[in-house]
């Protein structure tokens, strides 16, 4: 599973990364993580509000930081 966190590196972006890492650990799945801070790359996903969570190339959440439980549901 390939996970990307899109955002400028703000505290919300960092929270999303931490929660996503925790969700992956709790699910026991393997995933690679990438933080994307380049605005052109972020916009290429059609994201207008950050932070955003992208799983295997598909935007799953944007403009908010979902709970660990919500992220686990997204990843299943």
Would you call 13 a catalytic residue per the annotation?
yes
Q: Distance (Å, rounded) from C-alpha 24 to C-alpha 73?
A: 11
> Does residue 52 contact residue 45 with C-beta atoms inside 8 Å?
yes
Would you call 15 a catalytic residue per the annotation?
no
Determine which one of 5, 6, 13, 42 is catalytic: 13
Determine which one of 1, 8, 9, 10 is catalytic: 10
What is the token pair recorded at 76?
């299943």
Residue positions annotated with a catalytic role:
10, 13
């Amino acid at each position: 599973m390939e996970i990307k966190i899109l955002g400028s590196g703000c505290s919300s972006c960092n929270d999303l990364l931490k929660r996503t890492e925790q969700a992956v650990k709790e699910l026991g799945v393997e995933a690679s993580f990438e933080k994307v801070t380049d605005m052109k790359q972020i916009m290429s996903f059609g994201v207008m509000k950050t932070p955003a969570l992208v799983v295997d190339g598909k935007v799953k959440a944007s403009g908010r930081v979902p709970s660990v439980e919500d992220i686990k549901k997204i990843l299943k």
